Amino acid sequence: MGDQSLHHVTPEKGWKGLVQNWKSDFLAAISVSFVALPLGLGVAVASGVPPISGLISAIIGGVVVTLFRGSHLAINGPAAGLIAVILSAIVTLDDGTGQAINYMLAATVIAGFIQVILGFLKLGYIAETIPSSVIQGVMVAIGIIIFTSQIYVAFGMTATGANTVENLFQLFGRLSEINPIIALISIIGIILLVVIPRINSRLLHFFPATLWVLLISIVVVYSFNFFDEHSIHIFDSDYIVGPQYLIGIPDDLSKALLFPNFSKINTFPFWVAVISITLIATIQTLAMAKAVDKLDPYRRKSNLNKDLIGMGIGTIVSSAIGGLPVITVVVRSTVNITNNAKTKWSNFYHGLLIILFLFLLAPAIQKVPLAALAAILVYIGFRLASPGVFKKIYDSGIEQLLFMIVTIIITLYTDLLMGIIGGTLFTLMVQILLARLPARKFIMVALRNDAQLASRKDGSFDIKVRGVANFLSIPKFNKLIANIPTGKNVHIDLSETRLVGLSYIERLYEYVNAQGETGGEVELSGLENHVSSSTHNKALKIHLSPSSPKLSPRQDHLRDLASKLNFTFDPQANWNTSYLKNFRFFEIRPIERKSNVLRGSFSDQKVQWEVADVIFNEGAAFTAEVFHTTVMTLRLSDTIPMFVMEKEGLFDKIFDRVMAFTGYKDIDFDMYTGFSSKFLLMGEDEEAVRAFFNQQLIRFFEDSPIYHIESNGEALLIFNKLKLARTDEVQKMLEFSEKLLKRIESRTLIEKATGK
C-alpha cells in the first residue's frame, strides 16, 4: 500500500529544503501572491499611504525577512490590523508641511529597531502578559475603525467626523450622498467575498475571492468609463465618476518611493507613535506566528524571538523606502499551507512574484477602483468586529466581555496604545476585586506566582500552583515549564489558587496541546472548587465553593443513549485532542476542545470508537470562524490506504481536467458512475485506494447517506455536517459506521484468504 507516513516526514531546513521542495513551495507562492496583491494595495490605501507602500512591505516581507526569521510556513507583509495605528500616527504627526507620512516612516524605522532589540534580549514573552480579552478588544476596535473609514470610500463619500464614533453615527444621516456607481462596485465586491468561499467549486477557488473582486470591478470601470471624468444621470441626480476613484500608481515606480524624516524624534507624539507601532506589530506578529504553528501539518514550532528579529529587520528596510511595517499575516499563511507549502522559501518566492506582478501588472492595477479595495476592507473590518466575536467572548465569561468592551471604548475615543493600557488596568482592577486582596498584595502574588516543580521516579512531573495565576504570572509559568522535557507526563494542581485568569488558562491549554503532540500528557486538577460566570472551561475562575455542573437537555439525551446501549459518556471538556490532528481535515483547522464524549466498541470486530462534540477554528486568528460539530473516530485493527471522501461539488467535474497539471486528481470509477458523481475521492496512493474500494464497498456508499469519511491509515474520521448532531443523528452515525466496518472487515478477510 505504500508508505502511509510520507506526508508527515518533516521537510529539511535551509538550502537543502529549498532544493528538495522548490516546486511545491513555488506553486503555493503563486496562490499566496494572488491574495497578497489586493490585500497589500487595500491595506496601504486604508492606512493613508500610497498603494505601492503595501506592495513594498509584501516584497520585503518575502525577500528580506525569510532570511532572518524563525518561522516555517508563515507569510510576512502588511496587515489590516496595523491600519488604525498607521492612520493614527499620520494624523498626530501632521504639522501641515506635507511630511506626515515621512514622519510616520521614521517612527516605524525606530519601532523596527526596538523589535530587533526585544528579539535579541528574548523578550518576546512581553506580548503574552497582555490579557487576551484586551487584545481581542483592540482587534475589534481596529475592525470598527477600518469598517468606518472604508465604508465612506465604498460609497463614494468623504468622512468629516472628528473621530471614529462620530463618523459611524454620521453615516446614517448622510445616506443621500451615496454615489450609486461607486456603491455598486462595493456591493458586488462584498457579495463576492461572502458567496465565493461558500460555493463548493474549485473553478471559483482557482483565484481567491479578493482577486475576483478586483477582476469584476475592472469590468465595471470599463462599463462606466472611469478613465475620463464625467457625470452620469441616475435617479434624477448627476453622479461624478472619473480617474480620481482609481488606484494611483505612477508609471515610473522609482518616483513612488518615500523616505523617513526624523526631525520629530524629540517630540512626545513621535514616541507615542513608535511605542504604538512596536506594541501592535509585536502582539500581532507573535499571536499570528502561534496561530500559524497550529496549522503546520509537520507540527513545527516557530522561534518567536528570532521571528521578532526578522520582522524588525524587515520593518526597518521596508519603512526606509516607503513601505508599511512587516508582520506575520495569518490569512496568507493559511493559503500557503492549504496549497501544500513545505518550507519558509514559499514566503521568499511570494516576495519575488509580487515584484514580477508589480512590473507586469502596473497598467491593470491602475484600472482598479478604490471602491473594490474598500469593499475588501469593509468585509475584513466587519469580520474583526462581527457579533460572533462578541458572542464568543461572552461565552467565556461576562467579565471577559466587560474587559473587551471597556478596551474598545477607550481605543475608539483615544488611540490603540491607551486602549491597551486602559484595558489592561481595568482588567487588573476587576481581578483584584474578585480575588478580594489588597491591590499591592495581589500584584506581588501574581508576579511571584508561587508555583513549584517536582519530578517523580517514573519520569513524570508535578506542578503545584498557588495564589494568583493571571496574565502577570505567565512569564513565571513559561520559565517553569522550560525545565520539563518534551514528551513527558505532567500533572498541574491548581487547587490552592485564589484566582485563575483566562489568559493563564489559555496558556495552560497551549502547553497541554504542545506536550500532547510530543507524546506526553498533561493533567489539570484542582479547579473543582472554583466558580466562574460561564461554563466555558477557559473562563476566569475564583475559589469560593464547589459547584455542581448541570447537564443540558441534549447531554441528558446522550447520557440516556449511552446507558441504553451500554456505552460510556463523559460530558466534561477534554483538551487533549492531538490524535485528531493526524487527520487531514484537522491539520489546518486548530481544535479548541472536545466534550460530550461517547465511547464504546463494536464487539464482533474489536474496534474502539469515539463520538465527540468538537470545537475548531477555520480562517484567520482574530477573524477565525468557530465551528461546533460532532465527529466519530474508529481505531482500526488493520491498516488501510489513506484517503479523503466527501460530497462532490457542482462544478468540480468540469474543473478536474483543468487542475490535472497541478497533480490533483479526483479518483473516479468508470464502472460506478453513481458513486463517482456522488463523492469526491482523493488519496496519495491511487492504486492502493482503487484496490481498497471494491464493488461491495462502492455499492454500500452509493446506497448510504453522504458523510465526510477520512482514513489516516490506522483510523477513520466520520462526520456529516458542520453542526452538532442530534441524538438520533448520533445513533444513525453509529449504525452507519458499524455497517461500514463490516464491509471493511469482509474485504480484509478476502485479501488474507487470497494472499493479496
Task: Give 466's strand partners.
Answer: 496
pLDDT given for residue 606 in this prediction: 75
pLDDT in tens, 72-101: 999 999 998 899 999 999 999 999 999 999
What gap in Å lies between CA 645 and CA 633, rounded to an integer? 15
Paired with 451 in beta bridges are 465
Residue 189 has pLDDT above 50, yes or no: yes
Residue 142 near residue 84, CB atoms below 8 Å: yes
Q: How confident is the model at residue 572 (pLDDT cuts 50, 70, 90)?
A: confident
Closest CA to 638 of 734, 481, 545, 746: 746
pLDDT at 654 (0 to 100)? 43
Dump pLDDT digits (tens) for 425-483.
Answer: 999 999 999 988 899 989 988 888 778 888 888 889 999 998 899 999 998 898 899 89
pLDDT score of 527 more than 90: no
Give the DSSP per-residue string, 606-628. Answer: TEEEEEEEEEEEES-TTTPEEEE
Provide mean pLDDT across the span 548-572: 84
The pLDDT value given to residue 650: 46
Is pLDDT of 750 > 60?
no
What's the mean per-residue pLDDT of the chain?
A: 86
Q: What is the pLDDT of residue 289?
A: 86
Query: Rounded to an integer, what distance in angstroms lies between the CA atom of residue 38 and that of residue 365?
Result: 9
Full DSSP string of 538-568: TS-EEESS-------HHHHHHHHHHHHHT-E
Residues 63, 64, 68, 70: is their CA dihedral positive or negative?
negative
CA distances from 289 to 335, 407, 550 (A): 14, 24, 38
pLDDT of residue 83: 92
* Lookup: cell for 299: 507540527
Number of H helices, E strands in the chain: 27, 18
The CA distance from 674 to 670, in Å, is 9
Q: Is residue 545 pLDDT above 60, yes or no?
A: no
In this structure, the chain runs to a length of 756
Q: What's residue 754's pLDDT? A: 52
Among residues 502, 447, 507, the alpha carbon closest in space to that of 473 is found at 447
Answer whether residue 657 shows pLDDT above 60.
no
- pLDDT at site 3: 36
Task: Write out the three cell numbers for 371.
Answer: 471602491
E strand map for 619-736: 625-635, 643-647, 679-682, 708-711, 715-719
Q: Cite the beta strand spans of 242-386 per DSSP E.
A: 327-329
Q: What pLDDT is recorded for position 665?
A: 57
What are the cell numbers at 340? 501544500
Of 22, 117, 101, nearest in space to 56 by CA: 101
pLDDT at 525 over 70: yes
Q: Which CATH number fits domain 442-543: 1.10.3720.10, 3.20.20.140, 3.40.190.10, 3.30.750.24?
A: 3.30.750.24
Q: Is the pLDDT of residue 230 over 70?
A: yes
Calculate mean pLDDT across residues 530-556: 77
Residue 197's pLDDT is what? 83
Residue 166 · residue 414 · CB < 8 Å: no
Output the CA–CA distances (angstroms, integers) from residue 646 to 97, 677, 711, 733, in the order listed.
61, 11, 12, 15
pLDDT at 515: 86
Residues 6+ apart with CB under 8 A from 223: none
Helix 502-517 crosses helix 132-154 at what angle (to 10 degrees)? 100
- Distance, in Å, from the CA atom of 636 to the CA atom of 640, rounded to the nearest integer, reads 9
Q: Would you report the helix, strand and coil content of the chain in percent, each value rounded to 5? A: 55, 15, 30
pLDDT value for 481: 92
- The DSSP letter of residue 471 is G
Work out the average pLDDT over 588-604.
Answer: 82
Least confident piece of the model among 334-348, 387-401, 437-451: 437-451
DSSP code of residue 603: T
Write out pLDDT tens, residues 631-652.
Answer: 999 988 888 898 888 887 644 4
Contact 337, 91 (CB under 8 A): no
CA–CA distance, 102 with 320 (Å, rounded to integer): 10
Sequence-distant (6+) residues with CB within 8 A of 320 are 105, 109, 259, 260
What local confidence, expressed as pLDDT, does residue 293 receive?
85
Question: Per DSSP, what are the bridge partners of residue 718?
Answer: 632, 709
Residue holding cell 483538551?
575
From 599, 600, 598, 580, select the one nearest 590 (Cα to Cα).
580
For residue 703, report the phi and psi dihedrals to the nearest 5 degrees. Answer: -100, 5
- The CATH 3.30.750.24 domain(s) of the chain lie at 442-543
CA atoms within 13 A of residue 209's CA, in its CB half-sphere? 19
State mean pLDDT over 488-512.
90
- Of 302 and 103, the structure prediction assigns the larger pLDDT to 103
Mean pLDDT of 745-752: 60
Q: How far apart are CA 275 and CA 281, in angstroms?
A: 10
Q: Which residues on neighbouring strands pair with residue 90, listed in sequence order?
A: none
Write down the pLDDT at residue 742: 85
276 burial via Cβ count (<10 Å: 0-12, 13-18, 19+): buried
CB-hemisphere CA count at 13 Å for 75?
A: 38
At position 287, the amino acid (one-letter code) is A
Residues 6+ apart with CB under 8 A from 325: 57, 78, 82, 86, 108, 111, 112, 277, 281, 311, 315, 318, 319
| 551 compared with 19, residue with greater pLDDT | 19
Between 6 and 152, the more confident residue is 152
Question: What is the pLDDT confidence band of residue 674, given thresholds at 50, 70 and 90?
Answer: confident
pLDDT for 1 beyond 50: no
